Amino acid sequence: MTDQQVILLLGPPGAGKGTQAIRLAESLELPHVATGDLFRENLAQATDLGMRAKGFMESGQLVPDELVLEMLFERVSRPDCASGYLLDGFPRTLPQAKALTGQLADQPVQTLLLEVPDDLLVDRAGGRLLCRGCNHIHHATHSAPRTEGVCDACGGELYRRKDDAPEVVTERLLVFQEQTQPVIDYYQERGSLVTIDGTQSPDEVFAALQARLSAGASPPGASA
């Protein structure tokens, strides 16, 4: 067992995981490890991994576990993750959750779930604008950038994710229900799940997450 701080941010697509993970990672001084961002970077660079993930991502399906696990475990083995990391978008299947449990041995994890009803999720994903430079997330109406198409945080170019199209979001929500809900049940059964109301404003959600983390998000004795 090590004293690494490992935080999992779970929630359906559009729940605000990315926005919150960036802020939380910054305030906790932990690396933000988002499997979706890692795949998009691989796709942009046309790596072999990116090419293998492309079709799954564009159709709203999950990338096969073996590809995800290899990429994720390589990432968290780097020196910047030595004292801990914040996972965003992982685990998304039961085998991924169990592989993480095995990898972390008895080390406790803090598991936070952002809950948002489906109708809001479609709206949030539909207006989402992502920065090519720093992965910062804007929303066309709820948090519009000061200059159209330009990221407030770094001046990078904003774009819409192909998989945020309404029909793909609907598919991603179905995939979430089928494949990621069992992950939530898994952490719930292990007593290490804290649920946050993700319908609040981004500042309120952030405050709630911080409060739960400083209170110790996992009940005593809970482990990965």
**Residue closer to ligand AMP, measured from CB, 62 or 205:** 62
128 is a catalytic site residue: yes
Asked if residues 42 and 68 have their Cβ atoms less than 8 Å apart, the reply is: no
Secondary structure of residue 197 in the 3-state scheme: strand
Which one from 40, 75, 124, 128 is the annotated catalytic residue? 128
Which one from 40, 54, 161, 212 is the annotated catalytic residue? 161
Q: In the window 23-42, what residues touch ligand AMP (CB under 6 A)?
A: 35-36, 39
Tell me the C-alpha distance between 22 and 29, whole Å: 10
Q: In the window 84-143, what residues touch ligand AMP (CB under 6 A)?
A: 89-90, 92, 96
Q: How far is CA 76 from CA 85, 144, 188, in A?
A: 8, 33, 24
132 is a catalytic site residue: no
17 is a catalytic site residue: yes
Tell me the C-alpha distance between 194 and 68, whole Å: 25
Applying CB under 6 A, among 57, 137, 205, 209 the residue interacting with ligand AMP is: 57
User: Considering the rule CB under 6 A, would residue 169 count as an interface residue with ligand AMP?
Assistant: no
Helix 65-76 vs helix 94-104: angle between axes, to the nearest 10 degrees?
Answer: 30
Tell me the C-alpha distance between 218 and 111, whole Å: 7
**Residue closer to ligand AMP, measured from CB, 35 or 192:** 35
Asked if residues 113 and 194 have their Cβ atoms less than 8 Å apart, the reply is: yes
User: Considering the rule CB under 6 A, would residue 198 count as an interface residue with ligand AMP?
Assistant: no
Applying CB under 6 A, among 63, 158, 169, 193 the residue interacting with ligand AMP is: 63
Helix 94-104 vs helix 181-189: angle between axes, to the nearest 10 degrees?
Answer: 40
The separation between the first and the last C-alpha atoms of the chain, rounded to the nearest angstrom, is 11
User: Considering the rule CB under 6 A, would residue 186 count as an interface residue with ligand AMP?
Assistant: no
Q: Which parts of this chain interact with ligand AMP (CB under 6 A)?
A: 13, 35-36, 39, 56-57, 60-63, 68, 89-90, 92, 96, 163, 172
Positions marked catalytic: 17, 92, 128, 161, 172
